[in-house]
Structure 1
Amino acid sequence: MTQPDGRRTTLLATLALLAMTACWGSTFFLIKDLLDRVPTVDFLAVRFLIAGAAMLLVAPRAISRLSPEVRRRALVLGSLYGVAQILQTAGLAHTPASVSGFITGLYVVATPLFAAVILRSRISGATWAAVVLATVGLGVLSLEGFSIGYGEAITLVAALLYAAHIVGLGAWSKPADALGMSILQVLVIAAICTAAALVTGEPGVVLPDRGADWASVVYMALVAGAAALLAQTWAQAHLPPTRSAIIMSMEPVFAAFFAVLLGGESLTGRMAIGGAMVLTAMLVVEAIPRRKIEGEVPHIAV
């Protein structure tokens, strides 16, 4: 790949991650409303079942084209993400949403640590500065108070699993495998969430009973679920994990933006300052020269 082509692909990968993060951010106020009527784990099960079914319908042979090694890696990644979803959801029942959002966002810190230890990546001082700036920005944007308890502890575990998922995608995903890996990951996530719904809730999976709720679920399944995970899997085949994590830290910024634009919330100075800090961190990491040792992501065996 020539240097201009490489820069173009990197830019497209960055834009894909930003679009995915914006989709995730747009779901917060929808989920907040929907969970008044549908249990959380049941919602997750229905969401990912729809996403998996739709992806299989569009590309029924994509998984069969994967090598056994790639399938095994996709199973591992889907399991990490699925368990993280359950833990984050369980933690949310025991901790304020603002604190949960901040702790979940700590994958921004965990990702470069995992990348340095597992992948032996060298992280530059400027990148670490961007990580710190993004973390502080998340705190300013999200936190109004903080305490350590059961909910916070399991949410932190979820953040570590999200970081491991980001590092794993960076190490294992290839553009040619992105579709098949995405489908298999979604199916694994759906299986884990469905099992959790059957074990922890009422017999069977509780379904939405309103047309508007089904519209929200379908949007979150197809756009913020299937398409977003496909975009992440493809984009991370072209971007180092730490850079991806900092870009993805824009999620609460987009969440605040959509909450103000569509959810009826008021813009506060804390939102503006925290959002500006996270945005600055993303711009800083995008401006850092791409050294070879930072740009290469070794593929590790499982």
Structure 2
Amino acid sequence: METSKRRKATLGLLAVTLAWGLTFIWMKQAMNAIQPEIEAYGRTPVVAALVGGRFLIAFIALFVISKEARTALQNPQLWKGGAILGGILLVGFITQMIGLDSITPSTSAFLTSLYVVFTALITTKLTGQRVTRTMILGVALATFGAGFIEGPPHLSWGLGEILTVICAFFFALHILFTQKITQEMDPIGVTSTSFLIVSLGSLLVMIASARTSTVDALAVVHSEGVVLPLLCLGLIGSLFALLLLNLLQRHLHPVQAAIIYALEPVWATIFALKLGMTTWTGWIAVGGGALLIGNLMVELQESPHILDVEEE
């Protein structure tokens, strides 16, 4: 692969992690604003309403601005690819948010960061792309850094922990399937169909889990303090970040992409510090430093070694 494409992809995915770091702030603002609704309607339908609203906003915006997004709705292959990516995203987001209800943010960050490990393991097992020694060390540093940036996690292995590990596994699957599908199909078209699949899937989850009428749960997205964060989540966290991801990730090794994505908690912590939502500790330097070193090790490794598939 040309060095310029790889460099462009790396910078683009760094922008994706910055956007995802901001989503932490917006999601926290939205969730704090709807605590009474969560108690009234249940966490799962409310979470599903937020996820569905977020991706519906992203779909509508992409549909308006992109001809490829509109024509994709008439292409069965793009619906198939979108169903795979959208279904994986839906499970990942729902399990992560439900799991976060019963575990600490640091524990959630650590367990979610296991998607870096899962990506390396699945890549080695299924795709034939062997992971180099430098990548293995990069994976270890990225996992440690993402998990410990808010302090050592406290594991008790309840439902919250199990759901978050499931979330990490599905995020790893999303990285690998994105790699395959966006190399075979139009990235913009498959982004469009995947957004719509997540929205429709969220509606089904909401209907199946609602304690009261679905209309009550849907009304959550109009609650005070929710509309602006939800717009930001849809337009920046989903439309901008996932569209860029689908366009650029295919130019990198999936494990390298996973290690870059692990920088998300660094941005989230920086933004949280700026907004007074967290306080500085030495763990921020330790975790952030480990993430940075892990990324630099993989990035500075010569590109042929990263991208070539070693023969048996």
Give TM-score, length-normalised by structure 2. Answer: 0.87
1:219 aligns with 2:232: yes
2:3 paired residue number: 7
The CA deviation at 1:172 is: 2.1
- For the residue of structure 2 that corresponds to 1:94, the secondary structure is coil
Deviates more, 1:212-221 or 1:175-184: 175-184
The CA deviation at 1:100 is: 1.2
Deviates more, 1:223-232 or 1:37-46: 37-46
Give the unaligned 5+ runs of structure 1.
298-302
* Aligned-residue RMSD, C-alpha: 2.0
Larger helix fraction of residues: 2
The CA deviation at 1:234 is: 0.9
1:181 aligns with 2:181: no
The CA deviation at 1:71 is: 3.4
2:132 paired residue number: 124
Counterpart residue type for residue 89 of structure 1: M
The CA deviation at 1:61 is: 4.2
Counterpart residue type for residue 136 of structure 1: F
1:275 paired residue number: 288
Give TM-score, length-normalised by structure 1. Answer: 0.90
1:287 aligns with 2:300: yes
Maintained 8 Å contact 2:22/2:267: yes
Maintained 8 Å contact 1:137/1:277: yes
Measured against aligned partners, the alpha-carbon deviations of 1:21-43 in whole angstroms (never above 9, x if no partner) come to 11111121221121123332221
Give the unaligned 5+ runs of structure 2.
35-45
Counterpart residue type for residue 279 of structure 2: S
CA distance in 2, matches of 1:67, 1:281: 40
1:129-278 correspondence runs (5 A): 129-142=137-150, 143-174=152-183, 177-201=186-210, 202-203=212-213, 204=215, 205=218, 206-210=220-224, 212-278=225-291
- For the residue of structure 1 that corresponds to 2:64, the secondary structure is helix
The CA deviation at 1:253 is: 0.8
1:44 paired residue number: 51
Distance 1:200 1:55, change over 3 A: same
CA distance in 2, matches of 1:61, 1:137: 38
Measured against aligned partners, the alpha-carbon deviations of 1:97-138 in whole angstroms (never above 9, x if no partner) come to 221121111101000111111111111011101101111112
Counterpart residue type for residue 249 of structure 2: Q
- For the residue of structure 1 that corresponds to 2:57, the secondary structure is helix
Counterpart residue type for residue 295 of structure 1: L
Identity among equivalent positions (%) equals 30
